[in-house]
Chains A and B, each alone.
Chain A
Amino acid sequence: MNNNFLLLMPEFLVTGLAFLVLTADFFLRGDRKNFLPYLAVLGLIGALTFTLIDQWDRVDHLYEGLILIDGYALFFKAFFLVLGVIVVLSSVEYVKRNLDNPGEYYGILIFTIVGMMLMAASGELLTAYISLELLSFGLYVLVSFDRYSAKSNEAGTKYILLGAFSSALMLYGISQIYGLLGTTRFDGIAEALSATPDVSPGVLVGLVLIIAGLGFKVASVPFHMWAPDAYEGAPIPVTAYLAVGSKAAAFALVLRFFVEALMPAVGDWQMIIVIMAALTMTVGNLVALAQSNLKRLLAYSSIGHVGYLLMGVAALAAVGDDGRIQLQLSHLASNGLMLHLVAYGVTNMAVFLGIAVVYNATGKDDIANLAGLSRRAPFLSAVMAVSFFSLAGLPIFAGFISKFYLFNAVALQGLLWLAGLAIFTSLISLYYYLNVVRQIYIEDAPDPTPISMPKLTVGVMGVLFLAIIFLGVYPAPLMEAIQHASDALMSSESPIGLSQALR
Chain B
Amino acid sequence: MDNFDSYALFLLVVIPMAGAVVVMLIPGALKQQIRWVSSAFALSALLVSFYVFWAYDHEAGGFQFQRTWDWLAMPGTGPLSDKAITLTLGIDGIAAPMILLTGIVMLTGVLISWKIADRNKEFFVLYQLLLSGVFGVFVSLDLFFFFFFYELAVLPMYLLIGVWGSSSEFPTFSRAKEYGAMKLMIFLVAGSVLIWIVVMAIFVESGIGSFNLLELQNVTFSDNFQRVFFPFLMVGFGVLAGLWPFHTWSPDGHVAAPTAVSMVHAGVLMKLGAFGIIRVGILLMPEGAQDWMPVLIGLGTVNVLYGAWSALGQTDLKYVIGYSSVSHMGYVLMGIATLNSLGVTGAVLQMLSHGLMTALFFAVVGVVYDKTHTRDINVLEGLSKRMGFTAVLFAIAGFASLGLPGLSGFVAELLVFLGLFQTYPILGVLGIIGAAITAVYILRLMAKVFFGPLGERWQDETDASGLERFSTLILAGFILLVGLFPFPFIRVINTGVLEILQKFPEAG
Closest CB of chain A to B310's CB: distance in Å?
27
Residues of A within 8 A of B440 (CB): none
Closest CB of chain A to B77's CB: distance in Å?
6
Any B CB within 8 A of the CB of A281: no
Q: How far is the CA of A401 from the CA of B151 in the complex (A)?
A: 12
Residues of B within 8 A of A419 (CB): 197, 200
Residues of A within 8 A of B155 (CB): 389, 394-395
* B125-166 at interface with A (beta carbon < 8 Å): 144, 147-149, 151-152, 154-155, 158-159, 162-163
- Do A479 and B201 contact each other (CB < 8 Å), given the known contacts A400-B151, A442-B178? no
Any A CB within 8 A of the CB of B72: yes
Any B CB within 8 A of the CB of A437: yes
A443 nearest in chain B by CB position = B178
Q: How far is the CA of A7 from the CA of B17 in the complex (A)?
A: 47
Option from B152, B182, B193 in Cβ contact (under 8 Å) with A423: B193
Q: Is the CB of A400 within 8 A of B189?
A: no
Q: Is the CB of A332 within 8 A of B158?
A: no
Q: Is the CB of B193 within 8 A of A437?
A: no
Q: How far is the CA of A150 from the CA of B263 in the complex (A)?
A: 54
B24 nearest in chain A by CB position = A382
Q: How far is the CA of A431 from the CA of B190 in the complex (A)?
A: 11
* B44-82 at interface with A (beta carbon < 8 Å): 71-77
Any B CB within 8 A of the CB of A199: no
Option from A378, A394, A424, A483 in Cβ contact (under 8 Å) with B75: A483
Option from B76, B203, B204 in Cβ contact (under 8 Å) with A330: B76
Q: How far is the CA of A424 from the CA of B163 in the complex (A)?
A: 27
Closest CB of chain B to A472's CB: distance in Å?
9
Any A CB within 8 A of the CB of B185: yes
Closest CB of chain B to A343's CB: distance in Å?
14
Residues of A within 8 A of B10 (CB): none
Closest CB of chain A to B68's CB: distance in Å?
15
Any A CB within 8 A of the CB of B41: no
Any A CB within 8 A of the CB of B298: no
* A312-361 at interface with B (beta carbon < 8 Å): 330-332, 335
Q: Is the CB of A332 within 8 A of B178?
A: no
Q: Is the CB of A412 within 8 A of B204?
A: yes
Q: Is the CB of A408 within 8 A of B190?
A: no
Kindly supply a per-residue 1/0 record for chain A positions 427-444, scoring 1 wherever the CB is within 8 Å of any chain B CB and 0 otherwise.
100110010011001100
Residues of B within 8 A of A412 (CB): 77, 203-204
Option from A330, A441, A479 in Cβ contact (under 8 Å) with B159: A441
Q: How far is the CA of A408 from the CA of B204 in the complex (A)?
A: 8
Residues of A within 8 A of B159 (CB): 385, 437, 441-442
Chain B interface size, under 10 / 10 to 19 / 20 to 34 / 35 or more: 35 or more
Q: Is the CB of B152 within 8 A of A396?
A: yes
Any B CB within 8 A of the CB of A130: no
Q: Is the CB of A331 within 8 A of B163?
A: no
Q: Is the CB of A441 within 8 A of B77?
A: no
Option from A400, A408, A442 in Cβ contact (under 8 Å) with B74: A408
Residues of A within 8 A of B147 (CB): 404
Residues of B within 8 A of A405 (CB): 72, 74
Chain B's interface: helix, strand, loop or mixed, by majority?
helix
Any B CB within 8 A of the CB of A476: yes
Any A CB within 8 A of the CB of B40: no
Any A CB within 8 A of the CB of B452: no
Q: How far is the CA of A56 from the CA of B132 in the complex (A)?
A: 40
Any A CB within 8 A of the CB of B388: no
Residues of A within 8 A of B152 (CB): 394-396
Any B CB within 8 A of the CB of A407: yes
Residues of A within 8 A of B190 (CB): 427
- Do A411 and B185 contact each other (CB < 8 Å), given the known contacts A437-B159, A442-B163? no
Q: Is the CB of A434 within 8 A of B151?
A: no
Option from A395, A420, A431 in Cβ contact (under 8 Å) with B197: A420
Closest CB of chain A to B418's CB: distance in Å?
40
B148 nearest in chain A by CB position = A395
Any B CB within 8 A of the CB of A462: no
Any A CB within 8 A of the CB of B28: yes
Q: How far is the CA of A420 from the CA of B197 in the complex (A)?
A: 6
Q: How far is the CA of A335 from the CA of B458 in the complex (A)?
A: 65
Q: How far is the CA of A155 from the CA of B490 in the complex (A)?
A: 68
Any B CB within 8 A of the CB of A416: yes
Q: Is the CB of A434 within 8 A of B185?
A: yes
Option from B28, B77, B162 in Cβ contact (under 8 Å) with A378: B28
B81 nearest in chain A by CB position = A332
Q: How far is the CA of A497 from the CA of B77 in the complex (A)?
A: 25
Any B CB within 8 A of the CB of A65: no
Option from A374, A416, A438, A479 in Cβ contact (under 8 Å) with B200: A416
Residues of A within 8 A of B193 (CB): 420, 423-424, 427
Closest CB of chain B to A192's CB: distance in Å?
28
Q: How far is the CA of A103 from the CA of B178 in the complex (A)?
A: 47
Q: How far is the CA of A483 from the CA of B122 in the complex (A)?
A: 38
Closest CB of chain B to A417's CB: distance in Å?
9
Closest CB of chain B to A314's CB: distance in Å?
16
Q: How far is the CA of A431 from the CA of B203 in the complex (A)?
A: 28
Residues of A within 8 A of B201 (CB): 411, 416
Q: How far is the CA of A423 from the CA of B196 in the complex (A)?
A: 8
Q: Is the CB of A332 within 8 A of B197?
A: no
Q: Is the CB of B200 within 8 A of A395?
A: no
Q: How far is the CA of A241 from the CA of B193 in the complex (A)?
A: 31
Any B CB within 8 A of the CB of A188: no
Residues of B within 8 A of A335 (CB): 75
Q: Is the CB of A331 within 8 A of B75?
A: yes
Option from A330, A441, A442, A476 in Cβ contact (under 8 Å) with B72: A476
A403 nearest in chain B by CB position = B196
Any A CB within 8 A of the CB of B429: no
Q: How far is the CA of A430 from the CA of B183 in the complex (A)?
A: 12
Q: Is the CB of B151 within 8 A of A394?
A: yes
Kindly supply a per-residue 1/0 record for chain A positions 385-396, scoring 1 wherever the CB is within 8 Å of any chain B CB and 0 otherwise.
100010000111
Q: Is the CB of B200 within 8 A of A431?
A: no
Q: Is the CB of B74 within 8 A of A434?
A: no
**21 A-B pairs (CB sep. < 8 Å):** A331-B75, A332-B74, A394-B151, A395-B148, A395-B155, A404-B144, A405-B72, A411-B200, A416-B204, A420-B193, A420-B197, A430-B185, A430-B189, A431-B182, A434-B182, A437-B158, A441-B162, A442-B159, A442-B162, A479-B72, A483-B75
Residues on A lying within 8 angstroms of B by beta carbon are: 330-332, 335, 374, 378, 385, 389, 394-396, 400-401, 404-405, 407-408, 411-412, 416, 419-420, 423-424, 427, 430-431, 434, 437-438, 441-442, 474-476, 479, 483
8 interchain residue pairs of minimum CB distance: A411-B200, A442-B162, A395-B148, A395-B152, A394-B155, A420-B197, A423-B193, A395-B151
Residues on B lying within 8 angstroms of A by beta carbon are: 28, 71-77, 119, 122, 144, 147-149, 151-152, 154-155, 158-159, 162-163, 178, 182, 185-186, 189-190, 193, 196-197, 200-201, 203-204
Known A-B contacts: A404-B196, A419-B197. Give 16 more (CB < 8 A): A331-B75, A332-B77, A385-B159, A405-B72, A407-B196, A408-B200, A411-B200, A412-B77, A416-B204, A427-B190, A434-B185, A437-B158, A441-B162, A475-B72, A479-B72, A483-B75
